[in-house]
Amino acid sequence: MSYEIVIGLETHTELHTRSKVFCRCDAGFGGEPNSHVCPVCLGLPGTLPVLNRRSLELALLTALALECEIPARFQFDRKNYYYPDLPKNYQISQEYQPLGRNGRLLLVMPDGREKSVRIHNVHLEEDAGKLLHEGGGALVDLNRAGTSLLEIVSYPDIASLAELDVYMATMRQLLRYVGASDCKMQEGSLRFEVNISLRPAGATQLGTKVELKNIGSMKAAMRAAGYEIERQREALEAGREIVQETRLWDEERGVTAPMRSKEGAKDYRYFPEPDLVPVEVDAAWLEALRRSLPEPATARRRRFVAQYGLPDYDAGVLTADRQVADWFEAAVAGRTDQAKTISNWVMTHILKELPGEDDRIEDLKVKPEHLAQLAELVSSGAISGNQAKEVLLLVIESGQPPAEIVEARGMKQLSDASLLEKFVEDVIAANPKQVEQYRAGKEAVLGYLVGQVMKASKGQANPKLVNELLRSRL
Ligand SMILES: [Zn+2]
């Protein structure tokens, strides 16, 4: 029997705010354990939470970018459960009136096919702390407790591993475009939980779903989902029943293992959070947020082609990540005549420096103004294109401005005709056969002769000038 794959995702992302969602503690990653805490996020009796305006803004921006309906009024709910990393014994979340509903995320598959995945809801909640298992015991670090966590729940519309892959990449791109999160999976600011079930092809009823947790990267999500699909297929084919449960992905062993049977909503005894008033969204404020949304990646890609005359391929690579696109536009800084040169440098040399999912272009030593300066050095004839490549590699390594490198290494391009003439004469004298061929009408030989002059000048000669000098001599 053949089976259909049905996948839904929960995306958890830590919002990029300075302070936590209901108190003023530092929301930054790391720090001495239990140093970013106060009576509110420690859940001490008598304290009251106050909603962080920036958390709400980022949550609403994300919901708007996902084309959600935003209710005029929503509230927070209390999700009750006990766990050592949750000092209050409940989590403030949104169950009954989330801030966003009925949205969608548009996927563009590698073959150009479009697929719309419906978003069930977007809700804001507080994150829990961390348990560190050490020396046979467990330590609790509550620095993360109370940081802003946004959860985006999709409908089970994803029908293949390829779509899962594109969904995760597109969601990450959207969150980074909106500025909602830095999406560093290593630091846990972006986490995916994947729900998977199989059903006989053509069936209308959904199969029993299994939820996968402990997924540390998109690559791990793909491996875990691949494993789980095969596990369920084998079980169904052997006539065994799938148990509704949460399973943990074991990255080292490459398997999923049962963690607990999945709770239903009733197990959490949700009720409206009595310590927070409902939020009424001012229509003018929401409209201002909507207008402040950045240009979406697909629109930006089209603009890069029109404005900078870039091939669609370049535009796609450069706009895949908003920070890369911003970086590129800062480097070009209006000089559209330099766009293709800068695009080539970014695609060939800069992006190579960002191999990991969490690597960010703004962390590199090379800055956009360096590329602008380098392009200027080439277009003014101060250095050749070959020298520019050499300089760029040094800038990437050291962060030193190109002009300083050129100066320090005496790399100035030879543009003085009287100095170049000597090289030209030597090359003409040393290559009588090629000179003969050129004079007999074989134009292509000129390239060879230019190359010889470049070699003799150790790459410093201005190739345009060499070209002119050779032509006039020959
Ligand atoms: Zn606090």
Which DSSP string corresponds to 164-200? HHHHHHHHHHHHHHHTS----TTTTSEEEEEEEEEEE
Nearest to residue 86, comparing CAs of 271, 276, 268?
Answer: 268
Q: How far is the CA of 41 from the centre of ligand 1 (A)?
A: 4
Residue 415 has pLDDT above 80, yes or no: no
Our CA angle for 79, 82, 86, nearest 5°, is 80
Residue-wise over 413-447: b if at least 16 C-beta within 10 A, else e? bbbeeeebeebbeebbeebeebbebbeeeeeebbe
Residue 405 has pLDDT above 80, yes or no: yes
Q: How many residues does the chain have?
A: 474
Residue 414 has pLDDT above 80, yes or no: no
pLDDT digits over 72-85, tens only?
Answer: 999 999 999 998 99
Residue 179 has pLDDT above 70, yes or no: yes
What domains can be seen in the chain, in order of their start residue?
A: 3-288 (no CATH), 295-408 (no CATH), 417-473 (1.10.10.410)
Distance from C-alpha of 51 to C-alpha of 439, rounded to nearest angstrom: 82
Output the six-digit token pair for 365: 């030593």
Least confident of 65-69, 131-135, 205-209, 344-348: 131-135
Contacts of 1 (CB under 8 A, 6+ apart): 200, 201, 236, 237
Look at residue 380 in the predicted model and tell me its pLDDT. 83
- The whole-number average pLDDT for the span 426-434 is 91
Distance from C-alpha of 25 to C-alpha of 261, rounded to nearest angstrom: 35
Least confident of 67-76, 265-274, 387-396: 265-274
- The whole-number average pLDDT for the span 397-402 is 94
Taking each helix axis as running N to C, give the angle between helix 417-430 and helix 432-439, from 0 to 180 degrees, rounded to the nearest 10. Answer: 100
- The whole-number average pLDDT for the span 260-271 is 77
346 pLDDT band (50/70/90 cuts)? very high
Look at residue 267 in the predicted model and tell me its pLDDT. 84
381 pLDDT band (50/70/90 cuts)? confident
Q: How far is the CA of 261 from the centre of ligand 1 (A)?
A: 32
- Site of tokens 């190739």: 463
- The whole-number average pLDDT for the span 16-43 is 95
Q: How far is the CA of 151 from the centre of ligand 1 (A)?
A: 21
Distance from C-alpha of 468 to C-alpha of 470, rounded to nearest angstrom: 6
Residue 224 has pLDDT above 90, yes or no: yes
Q: How far is the CA of 143 from the centre of ligand 1 (A)?
A: 8
pTM, entire model = 0.78
Look at residue 265 in the predicted model and tell me its pLDDT. 66
Q: Does residue 12 contact residue 180 with C-beta atoms inside 8 Å? A: no
Q: How far is the CA of 58 from the centre of ligand 1 (A)?
A: 20
Residue 261 has pLDDT above 70, yes or no: no
Look at residue 262 in the predicted model and tell me its pLDDT. 59
Q: How far is the CA of 87 from the centre of ligand 1 (A)?
A: 12
Residue 191 has pLDDT above 70, yes or no: yes
- End-to-end CA distance of the chain, in Å? 77
- Site of tokens 């969602």: 21
Look at residue 474 in the predicted model and tell me its pLDDT. 84
pLDDT digits over 136-146, tens only?
Answer: 888 999 999 99
Q: How far is the CA of 22 from the centre of ligand 1 (A)?
A: 7
Distance from C-alpha of 5 to C-alpha of 2, rounded to nearest angstrom: 10
pLDDT digits over 276-328, tens only?
Answer: 999 999 999 999 999 999 998 888 988 999 999 999 889 989 998 888 999 99
* Residue ranges of E strands in 371-431: none
Residue 386 has pLDDT above 90, yes or no: no
Distance from C-alpha of 206 to C-alpha of 5, rounded to nearest angstrom: 10
Q: How far is the CA of 36 from the centre of ligand 1 (A)?
A: 7
Output the six-digit token pair for 421: 């003439």
Exposed, middle or buried by CB within 10 Å (0-12, 13-18, 19+), for 240?
Answer: exposed
Residue 135 has pLDDT above 90, yes or no: no
Q: What is the mean pLDDT of the chain?
A: 91
Q: How far is the CA of 175 from the centre of ligand 1 (A)?
A: 25
Q: How far is the CA of 49 from the centre of ligand 1 (A)?
A: 9
- The whole-number average pLDDT for the span 374-396 is 89
Distance from C-alpha of 253 to C-alpha of 290, rounded to nearest angstrom: 45
- The whole-number average pLDDT for the span 324-336 is 90
Distance from C-alpha of 61 to C-alpha of 175, rounded to nearest angstrom: 9
Question: Higher pLDDT residue, 454 or 271?
Answer: 271
Look at residue 263 in the predicted model and tell me its pLDDT. 63
Residue 472 has pLDDT above 80, yes or no: yes
Least confident of 221-235, 301-315, 459-473: 459-473
Nearest to residue 219, comparing CAs of 157, 184, 168, 152?
Answer: 168
Side chain identity at residue 75, one-letter code? Q
